[in-house]
Chain A
Amino acid sequence: MEYYCKKDEDEVGTLPEKYRSYIDRKTSFILLSVLLTGGIFLYSLSVGNADLTIFEITRTILGMPAELTHSKSIIWNLRIPRAVAAIIAGVALSISGVVLQSILRNPLGSPYTLGISHAAAFGATLSILAGTRNWLPMLDLPYMTTLSAFAFSLISTLTILAIAKYKNATPEVLILVGVALSSLLTAATMLLQFFADDSELPEIVFWTFGNLGRAYWESIYIMGFITLLASAYFFYNRWNYNAIDAGDEVARGLGVNVDRVRLTGMLVASLATAAAVSFLGIIGFVGLVCPHIARRFVGDDQRFLIPSACIVGAVLLLASDVAARLIIAPYVLPVGIITAFMGAPLFLYLLIRGYSH
């Protein structure tokens, strides 16, 4: 099948060099962002009550004897889990957002489009009430709130997937189903809140504020594992998403099984999001804004967009957490509030300024 390749190499013109430098620019953006993430990561370890310098932190991480006896435990048990959780959750939310925007053909797509955050909040609320009121004593396990949030996220996702599969629903319909489910779950959560007492209510409300302080190593391993698998799956499918971006018909003509790619993508994105939300609570805006920030720098080519969105997600969540810990130190704000405060103006700025070429 070499029909189209009869001419000599040099006849084809100077295109490849220009193209390669165009590709190099995108690759450099990704590499620079990785360096930036590393920098913010180290800096974030130095922010906190115990005054640790970046030098001491580096020594501790590298396993050298620490000058302060408690610094090892602070770094390994408090600060690193927090920063690592920020990176993982940032990646999970942002990559899910970028893929959902593509497969649902909607720039407003985000990890929460399919109702995951509302489902998780309902699951957590139910579990908190069940715990304090001893409804189901045999289920009073550690991590029950996380498990319940995760379970309800999955139920909500599977409902949408079932509608998509058996009713052949279009992306528009799926988004509307997500809106309907979100609204239903919000009503159910409010109903539970109405019956909650003075001690339960703050706990419920507090759960919904995304908080990186909830990250422990066990939860990080689970979130990290799911996010890593999801990212690998998404990156493997980058050309499928490029094809779907050109339209369902084009994608089918190129041999893409659009329905299967769409359903699996929704399922994987939901799993990654549900894992992050169940452990950490709801962190808004990252999944919507970070893909768009990445788009402004690298365009819509999923080969570059997927990795870029991951890194932008990690940077934004890390930076938001640093801000959350600095603004009213020594108190720590929930990071979800900061992401919305930082994300929204940044988003508006980028929209007004337009694409960077």
Chain B
Amino acid sequence: MRVGLEAFLLLSAVLFSIGVYGAVSKRSAVQVIMSLELISIAVMVNMVAFARFVTPDRGTGWAFTLFAMVVSAAEVGVGLALVLAIYRRRHTAELPELDELKG
């Protein structure tokens, strides 16, 4: 059995949807950030697959994957630090309780 680009796209679509579900539904800030990581993994799977199947001779897709990793690593670092800071001030990391934007 041989699989092509479509299989990778389908897999990444499923992962992306699961990540979106987690990001939208989870109450814990940490879990939301983990879901965001899932989304970025889905994106990277997509990029590596495209790089291999569509532009195999240039490595551009790899480079972008690398940068995407950098960005998501930075995002995780800052995001978790923010969660920590919020937790220290408010003694909670539950998103529904952090409703200071309420108008």
Q: Please indicate whether A and B come from the same complex rather than being unrelated chains.
A: no
Which of A's residues lie within 8 Å of B, judged by CB? Answer: none
Which of B's residues lie within 8 Å of A, judged by CB? Answer: none
